[in-house]
Amino acid sequence: MSTTFDRLFIEPRRTDHPQSRPARTRETETAQSPSMVLLVLLASAGIVVYAIFLLNPGNRGDWLPYVMVIAAESVLVFHALLAMWTVLASGYDPRGFAFHHAQDRLYGLEEILQLHTESRPQDWTMSLDGRSVTIDVFITTYGEDLGTIRRTVTAAVAMHGAHETWVLDDGRSDEVAALAAELGARYIRRLSSNGAKAGNINHALSITRGELFVVFDADFVPKPEFLYETVPFFASKDVAFVQTPQAYGNLETVVSKGAGYMQAVFYRFIQPGRNRFNAAFCVGTNVIFRRAAIVDVGGIYSDSKSEDVWTSLMLHEKGWRTVYIPKELAVGDTPETVEAYTKQQLRWATGGFEIMLTHNPMSPKRKLTIDQRLQYTVTATFYLTGIAPLLLIMVPPLQIFFNLTPMNLTITPATWLLYYAGFYVMQVLVAFYTLGSFRWQTLLMAAVSFPIYVRALLNAVFKREQAWHVTGSKGAYRSPFAFIQPQVLVFVFLALTTVVGAWKDLSNGYPSLALAWNATNTIILGGFVVTAWREGRSARRALRKPRGKRVAALTTAGAA
C-alpha cells in the first residue's frame, strides 16, 4: 500500500474529538510571532512620524520639488500603512472546524479498499457532505515549450483525488494535442483567441461539467496534495474559490530574483491578511473555483488582461467568500528576462489602473464592505508606488541645476535622514525579517520599473489594448535594451547630473545631500543597465552555440 494511504488509514480523524484543536500552521505562527508584531508596529510608527515631518508647513522648501516629494511620498505612505495593517491581520487561519471536518472525510476508506485503489490516489473519489464532488483541472497553454507543458500535465494528472485533467490550448498545436493524449489528459482547442486566457477558460467551462475547476498556468507544476488541501473549503457553501501562492523554482537571474522576491511578502503576509477582510483575490493560477460562483458573475471576466483580480472583485460584490492559504502547492516560473518582466508588469499594472479609473472600489455603487473597499483601493492604486520613484529621482537634479530644494534649508541632513530612516529602513527590516535576508534585487527592480507603470497608466487612461504575453513562452531573441530605453536615457541624464553636481560642490567647498542622492540613483539605474547588458551578452552567446554546431555539422558532411 502507498505511503499516502497508510497515513490516511492510520491517522485519527481530528474532528472526532471536538475538544482537541488542530495544530497551528507554520505560516500562522510566523505571522503571530511577537517579533513580527513588534517590527510591524515600529514600522507603522515610523511611517506616521515621517508623514507628519513632511506635511509640517515649517519644513517646506521650494514649491515644485516639495509638491513632487509630497505627491510621491503620499502614495508610498498610504500603501505602507495599509500594508502594515494587513500584515497585522495575517495571523488569521481560514482553516476552521468545517475545513478539518471535511478534510477528515474527503476520501472514503471503504471504497478505496473495495476498489483496490490503495496505490492509485489519483483515482480516489472525493466527497463533501457525504456526496461525491466532480473536479476539472484546466491547464492553459499558449505557445509554451513541450517540456514545460509535459511537466505540468504529468503532475496534474497524478494529483490525489479523482479528477479530469484538460489541456486548454490557445496555441492550437498538434504536438500539444498528442502530448495530452499521451499523458492521459483531455484536450480542448478553440477557433479564436478572443478574451485571451479568460476566454480560453470560459470556453472550456461551456464544454466541461465539473462542480469545481482548477486553473494552472502551463509552467506551474502542482504538488500531489493540491486537491486535498483545497477542496475541503468548499464544504462551506459561500466559498467561491481557494487561492494558493505562486512559488518559483527559477530564481537564478537578477530579474527573476527581483521579480520573485518582490512577491514574497505579498504571498506570505498580505494575502493571508486579506482573509480577515474577505478580500483575498485570485492571481490567475494555482486556484480552484466553484463553478456555480463563476456562473453567478457571468464567467471569468474577459474585458481585461487582469482577469483574475476583476473576477475576484465581481465575486466579492456578489457576496461570495474567498479563501487564501499560504501553503505552496505548485511551483512555477517567474520572468527571467527584462522582456518577460516588462510585459508581465505592464499587463498587471494596466489591469489595476483600469479598476482605479473605471470601477472605483470606494464608489457607493459598489456592494463591498469598508474593508473590501480599502483592500481593492490598495490593489487598484498599487502600481502608483512604481511611478513614485520617477518623481523622487527628478528632485535632486532640480536642486543641482536650479537650486530648488524640497525641504527647508535650516533642516540638517542628519535630521532629514533620521526621519527618512524611520520610514524606509524599518520597512526594509520588516522585509528582511519575513524573507530571511536582504534582497537587493527586489529594491533594484522596484526602483527602475517606473517607465513600465507610466505606460500602463497611459494604456488605462486612453483604453489602449494590451497584448497578452505568457511568462514561460520562448520567442525570438530581442535585445533587452529594446525594452529599457527610458531607463537608459534617465541613467545618462543622472550620470551627467552627478558630474555637474560634483563640480558644483567642489566650487562651493562642501558636499550636498542632493549630490549624494543623485549619485545613488545613478548607481541604481546603472546597475540595471549592466544587468540588461549581461543578459543580452548571455543570450547572444546561447544563440551562437547552436549556429556553430550547425556549421560544424555541415562542414563535416561536406568533407565526407
Strands lying side by side in the sheet with 330-332:
221-222, 330-332, 247-248
Mapping DSSP onto H, E and C, the string for 317-384 reads HCCCEEEECCCCCEEECCCCCHHHHHHHHHHHHHHHHHHHHHCCCCCCCCCCCHHHHHHHHHHHHCCH
CB–CB of 240/324 below 8 Å?
Answer: no
Mean pLDDT of the 275-292 span: 96
The CA-atom distances, in angstroms, between 164 and each of 138, 182, 231, 418, 420 are 9, 15, 15, 59, 55
Query: Is 468 or 40 the better-scoring residue by pLDDT?
Result: 40
CB–CB of 65/395 below 8 Å?
Answer: yes
> ∠ at Cα 122 (120, 128), nearest 5°?
120
Amino acid at site 297: V
pLDDT greater than 60 at residue 443: yes
pLDDT range class, residue 14, cuts 50, 70, 90: low
pLDDT greater than 50 at residue 132: yes
pLDDT greater than 80 at residue 483: yes
Amino acid at site 282: C
Q: What percent of the chain has pLDDT over 90?
A: 64
- In this prediction, residue 3 carries a pLDDT of 61
Closest CA to 470 of 343, 358, 365: 343
Mean pLDDT of the 490-505 span: 96
- In this prediction, residue 339 carries a pLDDT of 94
Say how many C-beta atoms besides its own lie within 10 A of residue 414's C-beta.
8
Q: How far is residue 479's CA from residue 68's CA, in Å, rounded to a whole number?
A: 33
Say how many C-beta atoms besides its own lie within 10 A of residue 32's C-beta.
15
Burial of residue 327 (CB within 10 Å: 0-12, 13-18, 19+) is middle
How much of the chain is in helix, strand and coil states, percent to nearest 5?
60, 10, 30
Query: Is 329 or 90 the better-scoring residue by pLDDT?
Result: 329
CB–CB of 522/495 below 8 Å?
Answer: yes
pLDDT range class, residue 400, cuts 50, 70, 90: very high
Mean pLDDT of the 229-258 span: 94
Phi, psi (rounded to 5 degrees) for 165: -100, 130
The CA-atom distances, in angstroms, between 307 and each of 197, 235, 304, 327, 377 are 8, 26, 6, 23, 17
Query: Is 92 or 31 the better-scoring residue by pLDDT?
Result: 92
> ∠ at Cα 365 (363, 370), nearest 5°?
55
Q: How far is residue 17's CA from residue 12's CA, in Å, rounded to a whole number?
A: 9
Among 30-39, 248-257, 345-354, where is mean pLDDT lowest?
A: 30-39
- In this prediction, residue 474 carries a pLDDT of 53
Phi, psi (rounded to 5 degrees) for 248: -125, 140
DSSP for 263-277?
THHIIIIIHHHHHTT
pLDDT greater than 70 at residue 28: no
- In this prediction, residue 226 carries a pLDDT of 97
- In this prediction, residue 110 carries a pLDDT of 85
Q: What percent of the chain has pLDDT over 70?
A: 88
pLDDT greater than 70 at residue 211: yes
pLDDT range class, residue 88, cuts 50, 70, 90: confident
- In this prediction, residue 467 carries a pLDDT of 58
Phi, psi (rounded to 5 degrees) for 351: -65, -40
Domains of the chain: 97-381 (3.90.550.10)
Mean pLDDT of the 500-512 span: 91
Mean pLDDT of the 377-405 span: 95
Among 85-99, 454-468, 494-508, where is mean pLDDT lowest?
A: 454-468
Cell numbers for 247 = 512559488
**Residue 248 DSSP SS3:** strand
pLDDT greater than 60 at residue 425: yes
Cell numbers for 323 = 479563501
Say how many C-beta atoms besides its own lie within 10 A of residue 554's C-beta.
10
Q: How far is residue 54's CA from residue 241's CA, in Å, rounded to a whole number?
A: 42
Query: Is 192 or 185 the better-scoring residue by pLDDT?
Result: 185
Model confidence pLDDT, tens digit, residues 508-534: 888 888 999 999 999 999 999 999 999
pLDDT greater than 80 at residue 142: yes
pLDDT greater than 80 at residue 181: yes
Q: How far is residue 341's CA from residue 344's CA, in Å, rounded to a whole number?
A: 5
- In this prediction, residue 335 carries a pLDDT of 92
- In this prediction, residue 554 carries a pLDDT of 43
Q: How far is residue 235's CA from residue 319's CA, in Å, rounded to a whole number?
A: 17
- In this prediction, residue 20 carries a pLDDT of 46
Kind of pairing between the strands at 135-141 and 212-217: parallel
Among 137-146, 429-438, 458-467, 525-534, where is mean pLDDT lowest?
A: 429-438
Among 78-92, 229-243, 269-283, 310-324, where is mean pLDDT lowest?
A: 78-92
